[in-house]
Amino acid sequence: MKLPVHDWQFWVVTALAGAALLFIVRNLVPARWWRRKPRGKAASLTIEGRSVEKKK
């Protein structure tokens, strides 16, 4: 009982089957589980393009 790991064709079909499996799982699992949530970016507050401290 063995996998033909020395046959390059085996790796091609395995990659395709893996992609197909990923596709199935992605369709079954709710989108919110795998979709990256948008994260807020820290930004300093400015008034007319200048930082609050400088304006003062």
Partner 1 sequence: MSTAASQAAPSETGVPPGSSVRPPVRFALIGNPNTGKTTLFNRLCGLRHKTGNFPGTTQEARIGTVRMREGTLQLVDLPGIYSLELEQSEAEVCRGVLAGTLAPPGQKAAAPDGVCVVVDATNLARNLVLVGEALRRRLPTVVAVNMIDLARRRGLVIDLAGLESRLGCRVVVCSARSGEGVEALTEAIAAAPVPNRTPPGTRDGLERWADEIYDQCTSVVETGPNAVAIGVDSLTDRLDRVFTHPVLGLVVFAAVMTGLFWVIFALAQVPMELIDRVFAAASDWLDGAMPEGVIRDFISHGVVQGVGATVIFLPQICLLFFLISLLEDTGYLARAAFVMDRVLRPFGLPGHSFMPLLSSHACALPGIMACRAIPDRRERLATILIAPFMSCSARIPVYVLLTSILFAGRPMMAALAFVGCYALGIVAAMGTALIFRRTILRGKGRPMALELPSYKRPAFRTALLGTWDRAFVFIRNAGTNILAIVVVLWWLGAYPHVDPPPEAVQIREQAAAADPEVRGALLEEAERIEARHASANSYLGRFGRAVEPVLRPLGYDRQLSVGVLASFAAREVFVSTMAVVVTGSEDTEDEGVVQAIASARRDDGAPVFTTAVCWSLLVYYVLAMQCLPTLAVTAREAGGVKWALLQLGWMTGLAYVAALAVYQLLGAS
Cα 22 to chain center, whole Å?
A: 13
Position 51 contacts partner 1 (CB under 8 A):
no
Applying CB under 8 A, which of residues 27, 35, 49, 54 lies at the interface with partner 1? 27
Residue with tokens 């401290």: 53
Task: Tell me whether residue 2 or residue 56 sits nearer to partner 1 (CB atom).
Answer: 2
**Given its phi and psi angles, is residue 39 left (phi above 0), alpha (psi -120 to 50 degrees) or beta?**
beta
Binding site for partner 1 (CB under 8 A): 1-4, 7, 9-10, 12-14, 16-17, 20-21, 23-24, 27-30
